[in-house]
Chains A and B, each alone.
Chain A
Amino acid sequence: MVSQTYTVLNPSGFHARPTKVFVQTASTFPCKVNVSKNGKKVNGKSSLSMLTLGIEANDEVLLETDGDQEEQALEALGQLLSKIFEE
């Protein structure tokens, strides 16, 4: 398992569109993807569960990947967490 903490920069947090992109990308990797905020951990391949984390701009989130291609997944998904999305 590998993990890293990221600060979310997207001004409107991590809602519909960023979540969609994140979940779609997460689903392309065979490994497990978990995202946690303030100790609450959810499945990063579920958009509903990701939404319930209520990630806002400047929130710190912990990304964990576990299994095949965990390094690549961490790299790709970490970039999405610190990216700025269009409305």
Chain B
Amino acid sequence: MAKPFQGIAASPGIAIAKAYRLKHSHYVPAPGKANDSAEEKKRFTQAVEQSKQEIEQIRELTEQRMGAAKAEIFEAHLLLLEDPDFIDAIIERIENEGDNAEFSLYEVANQFVEMLRSMDNEMLRERAADVLDISRRIMSHLRGEEYAAVSAISEPCILIAEDLTPSDTAQLNLDYVLGFVTEIGSRTSHSAIMARSLEVPAIVGAGTAAGDIQTGTMIIMDAVTGTVLPSPSDQELEEYRAKKADYDQRRLELRALLDQPTVTKDGHHVELAANIGSVEDLQKVLSNGAEGVGLFRTEFLYMGRSSLPSEEEQFQVYKHVLERMNNKPVVIRTLDIGGDKELPYMKLPVETNPFLGLRAVRLCLSKQELFRTQLRALLRASSCGQLKIMFPMIAVKEELLEAKKLLAEEKEKLQQEGIPVSDSLEVGIMIEIPAAALAADILAKEVDFFSIGTNDLIQYTMAADRMNENVSYLYQPCHPSILRLVRMVIQAAEKEGKWVGMCGEMAGDETAIPLLLGLGLHEFSMSASSILPARALMKDLSREEWAGYAEEAIQMGSERQIQQFVHDKIGRV
């Protein structure tokens, strides 16, 4: 039995099969002069032409199997084959140095590969793989060889390779290739990205241990944890066959819920939305079947730079998010900076208690120009979709009224300038300070919605810094105090006919979900990957039944008791 080893789980799943080692040619041409440079140039341009035709075919295949977005990788390859700085440099080398085509290609490609590999950005280092893929393909044509024969695989296997090039991945025959393990690579490698879109289990970056596996060795790959077990025992095989059956079944059930609305057993509809921190998270939001964006943290626009973002810059980002969500609701939170999130270029004074200091809406109200810029950008974007603006950290009604006043002023200015602003724009606040929860009945008259931010609400209610390990035991989402505040907020909003969401960690917590459903929460916003499991859970819950259970739970003495109670009840469902 060989030793198990670990890689990066790049695309989840479990596969059990014999290994098939894919070997790429690492042909290194010896320096060689050509007798006839014109002839070498012709050989080279022919090899480039052949490569173009092949890639064009692979591009079409990829588009059919994985969609236009993934096929773009090959458009980038085609572009490389026409790149003046790449192709011309090789031709010049053939002409000026008299080197043969193989050596000229090898030298120039290497220069670019080295340059890209030395960049301090992972995505750029990955692009070196594209240059290698292309240059090896041209090389194989120059030498009259076939390039990496993935297409020759004709029996079930797990592919083992140093790395899979995009063209390898695109040609994988999924009837036979049950998964793949590579020695190098990261979660953002092309092979990792493509594996996720093909939904084939993949472990990347497994190191030389993967390189030692020979064709024909039986292996188990658990791409949920990233573990590879070569030459497993009968007992391990049995264990993983059962694990795989469970995993596949669960996955099938979840995929079936992708485009379904979230409806409880007793026919009640709730909205499952996703939290995002930048436009890059949108893909995950859509591919996990979210019904909206429940929290867009705008901090990323302000962080990691040297000056404030302009109105236009912000407008472009908000517009993009709204358009991409295609008229599904999008809650955008105005700047929540301060506390643990700093902006060095703003040179804010150091505070003794930053979490209790000038942060979020307090900061925005004290720096009105900054706030007005963001509000204008939001208002301008409002006509591009279903925008809801949310103010963070509201403690008292005056703050909310002041924020709303500034918003109204900016709206009027825009309308005078003839710039359209949506009529159905909703304005809400986060409930994350106990004072706001306790006065929810007063605040509810002034908003369209509430969203409960549990991370801060718990921290402030328990008076315990959640980053402080010594008091981390006080982070108790299901403590009766927190549940009572949540209930109070929902009841106050309902009285005014307003809706309540939750955008803190608690909204995606499977123990808290039944209780929140029972308390009448309307919208749950969580990380995108929690959406399908949450939807599956909701399907098995009855809101009416849990309304009763939640009332029972809220009377209990500790979080522990409440958790136990929920688990017992779910077990019985």
Contacts and interface: CB of A to CB of B under 8 A. Distances in A.
Interface of A: 7, 9, 11-13, 15-17, 19-20, 23-24, 42-43, 45-49, 51-52, 54, 56-58, 82-84, 86-87
B86 A46 contact: yes
Contact of B121 (A11, A56, A84, A86): A56
Contact of A9 (B85, B282, B283, B316): B316
A4 B73 CA distance: 30
Contact of A58 (B79, B121, B304): B304
Contacts of A17: 72, 76
A24 B80 CA distance: 11
B280 A12 contact: yes
Interface string B64-91: 0000010011011001100111100000
A9 B80 CA distance: 25
Nearest to A15: B123
B124 A58 contact: no
Contacts of A11: 278-280, 300
A42 B300 CA distance: 29
15 contacts: A11-B280, A13-B123, A16-B123, A17-B72, A17-B76, A24-B79, A43-B84, A47-B80, A48-B80, A48-B112, A49-B85, A51-B127, A52-B116, A54-B121, A86-B283
B290 interface: no
Contacts of B300: 11
Contact of B85 (A20, A46, A58): A46
Which 5 A-B pairs give the minimum distances between C-beta atoms?
A: A46-B85, A58-B305, A49-B85, A84-B320, A47-B79
B16 interface: no
B76 A20 contact: yes
A21 to B, nearest CB: 10
A48 B131 contact: yes
Contacts of B115: 52
Given A51-B124, A58-B304, 18 more contacts: A7-B313, A11-B278, A11-B300, A12-B280, A15-B121, A15-B127, A24-B79, A42-B85, A43-B84, A45-B84, A46-B84, A46-B86, A51-B116, A52-B119, A54-B121, A58-B305, A82-B316, A87-B283
Interface residues of B, number: 35
Contacts of A84: 279, 316-317, 320
Contacts of B127: 15-16, 51
A45 B76 CA distance: 13
Interface centre among A7, A45, A46, A58 (most CB of B within 10 A): A46
A51 B72 CA distance: 16
Nearest to B284: A87
Contact of A43 (B85, B123, B304, B324): B85
Nearest to B127: A51
A17 B83 CA distance: 15
A47 B79 CA distance: 7
A48 B82 CA distance: 11
Interface in B108-123: 112, 115-116, 119-121, 123
A9 B83 contact: no
A47 B83 contact: yes
Contacts of A42: 85
Which residue of B119, B124, B283 has the most chain A CB atoms within 10 A of its CB atom?
B124
A15 B317 CA distance: 18
